[in-house]
Structure 1
Amino acid sequence: MKLKNILIVVKDIEASKQFYHDLFGLNLVLDNDGNMVLTEGLVLQDEKIWKKFLGKDVIPKSNSCELYFEEQDIDAFIERLEKMYPSIQYVNRLMTHSWGQKVTRFYDLDGNLIEVGTPM
């Protein structure tokens, strides 16, 4: 068995597609009417479809999982993040762990948790 994709729920699929392209360079692979597959296996699904399928509300900022990215030049990434999305909500600003890795955590436009760290 093979893990194929990670799906996150979003309110505005076009804005989210742009967000993940702007910050992480992810590009559209497939647009399937409310489901967008991006490079690296990230799938964006329109919240209305998710709610209809599950019959439950979406809980933003549930802090139950995160998307993890690595970036060599994390200072340039933070600068780009703050320039392009100045109202981004941080969980923790850039910090250095005891083992030397620099990381930051923040929420995407829909409250999905993201961590960006330097390679370990």
Structure 2
Amino acid sequence: MNKINFSMPVIFVEDIKVSREFYQNIFSLEVGEDFGENVVFKKAFSIWQKTCANKIIFDKNIINERKEINNNIELYFETIDIKSIWEKISSSNVEIIHSVKEAAWGQRVFRFYDPDKFIIEVAEPMSEVIKRLSNLGFSEEYISTKTQISLDLVKKILLGI
């Protein structure tokens, strides 16, 4: 049996130009393919003009109340420089859900909405969380317990393996 591989998320957007500009300017995403009403970002995801997608998928125009239900998807991004990215986002014209906060497992994260009210999460990679906690003087055992990452992997990350 042939294996099915996940390729990328595709989100339907109200205005392809606004959304493309948003993701290029905020995240510096590179466009891999531009099909007009569908834009594929390299190593990321695709955005699709909602009216076009509805015609193709459902064979007709559909009035969709997506703005009421967009909290059911989150696009997750990671950065090792969460402070400067937060400064860039918070000084932009975007709707902030919450500022940088530390999750129970030690990861620093913030969230905001894209132009179509999809949730965007930006967090530090867990490898950086482990290094930060170690630099703060916490033991490998404590870091493993807090982050829920195996002690063996914590040690490997701290050794740079």
TM-score (norm 2): 0.67
Identity percentage over the alignment? Answer: 31
Considering fraction of residues, name the structure with more strand.
Answer: 1
Q: Alpha carbon RMSD of aligned pairs, Å? A: 1.6
Q: Do structure 1's residue 43 and structure 2's residue 49 form an aligned pair?
A: no
Q: Which structure carries more helix by proportion?
A: 2
- C-alpha deviation, 1:41, in angstroms: 3.6
Aligned twin of 1:72: 80
Moved more, 26-35 or 49-58: 49-58
Alpha-carbon distance in 1 for matches of 2:121, 2:30: 19
Normalized against structure 1, the TM-score is what? Answer: 0.87
- The match for 1:90 is 96
Residue aligning to 2:33: 30
Gaps of 5+ in 2: 127-161
2:20 aligned to which of 17, 22, 43: 17
Distance 1:12 1:108 in 2: 12
Could you tell me which residue of structure 2 aligns to residue 7 of structure 1?
Answer: 10
Q: Using CA pairs below 8 Å that are at least 6 residues apart, which structure has the higher relative contact order?
A: 1
| Partner in structure 2 of residue 119 of structure 1 | 125
Cα pair 1:51 1:58 within 8 Å, conserved: no
The answer for unaligned runs of 5 or more in structure 1 is: none
